[in-house]
Amino acid sequence: MLSNAIRDLDVNVERLGTVLAPNGYAEEGLGVLNPGCARGRDGALLLYPRDVATGNISRIGLARAKPKSSGNRFERIGYALEPQAPYELRHQGGYGCEDPRTTFIEALDRYVLSYTAFGPEGPRIAIATSQDALHWERAGLLQFGRPGMHVGDDKDAAFFPEPVTSPEGVLSLAFYHRPMLHLSAVDGRAAVPLIEKMPFEDRESIRIGYIPLEPALKDRSKLNDVAESVLVMSPDARWGSLKVGCGTPPVRIAEGWMSLFHAVDVTSGPRAEPRFRYSAGIMIHDLENPHIVRYRSPEPVLAPQTKAERKGVVANVVFPTGIDPRPDLGDRTFDVYYGMADVKIGLMRLTLGASEQSLEPAESAA
């Protein structure tokens, strides 16, 4: 089934500054970045930053919003996850729990935290669940065991908040993910010339994976069993030509499932060395069949501009990972939390205006 594409979308973006920065201790010596966020059962706003310690060891922090009189900044209250499981630990190089995204899934009556577990085999997608958004229990690595599925390095996972219908017609829990190319995992800059010769659909792209709902409700261990995975968005010549990946979890709006994604372009540095530029855009999926993309930003809605976004551990990076609907400000207003140059966390307020429908069919995965 195809639905009409969205030809135009009115978008307003307002930067609201830095909300969390390293506290000077070794546990955050290399940055506080790329947070998930969620509203607790009591409505309190919680942030789950990636805290990077000296030695490139990552933990998932836990912070709570202060009262409005304090400027809506955050106080640290502990850790959601620290590297403990075998798939989060290794003897050499960086390791740990990276880049969380957090979603409350009513069908499970649980919060689901998806993150990159960097262990002995490299980056893999892991999940944890919680009843209260404060105390988390590991569910393990996602299993891509079906024939033809990508098995190996994978990142940028975020769950949809409601079950959806998979391409094979199964009511499922859906999540974004981004299988990685082996050559870029080994040396990203050296791989640029080879990647630029590849067709766009063969470059690192956004896929949606599907976990059948009924087995997961009967047996929570089935929450890890991925039954389907389809390509939904690839790099594009207009912008984001090197690779694209999930940003925030999707939220429901009138036009479909809306989320922010990140995209990477290559620019030339001194002596023509390739440099990466991370920007962010909006994509909207069909509500019933999210493998159908109804809208993709024709240009970035957020790109590195401020000093905090342009200079840091990794220059020229904006990396959205957390989204908080703000119905108190309007039914199409969202606060978006994003990493700035892999050092700090910024806040952007996103307001959607009217959209214009097209008679042309939307993109659909093959």
pLDDT in tens, 44-102: 999 999 999 999 999 999 999 987 744 458 999 999 999 999 999 998 889 999 999 99
pLDDT in tens, 87-141: 999 988 899 999 999 999 999 999 999 999 999 999 999 999 999 999 999 999 9
pLDDT in tens, 313-350: 999 999 999 999 999 999 999 999 999 999 999 999 99
Give the per-residue pLDDT at 271: 61
Over range 241-253, report the average pLDDT.
97
Q: What share of the chain is helix, strand, coil (3-state, %, to 5)?
A: 10, 55, 35
Give the per-residue pLDDT at 141: 98
Give the per-residue pLDDT at 366: 44
Give the per-residue pLDDT at 289: 92
**Percentage of residues of the chain with pLDDT beyond 70:** 93
Q: How many domains does the chain have?
A: 1
CATH number at residue 239: 2.115.10.20
**Percentage of residues of the chain with pLDDT beyond 90:** 83
CA distance 265 to 274: 10
For 76, the domain range is 4-364
Give whole-number Cα distances, 57 to 54, 62, 89, 94, 366, in Å.
7, 16, 9, 5, 39
Give whole-number Cα distances, 174 to 226, 228, 301, 310, 340, in Å.
9, 9, 25, 33, 28
pTM: 0.94
| Rounded (5°) CA angle 255-160-242 | 85
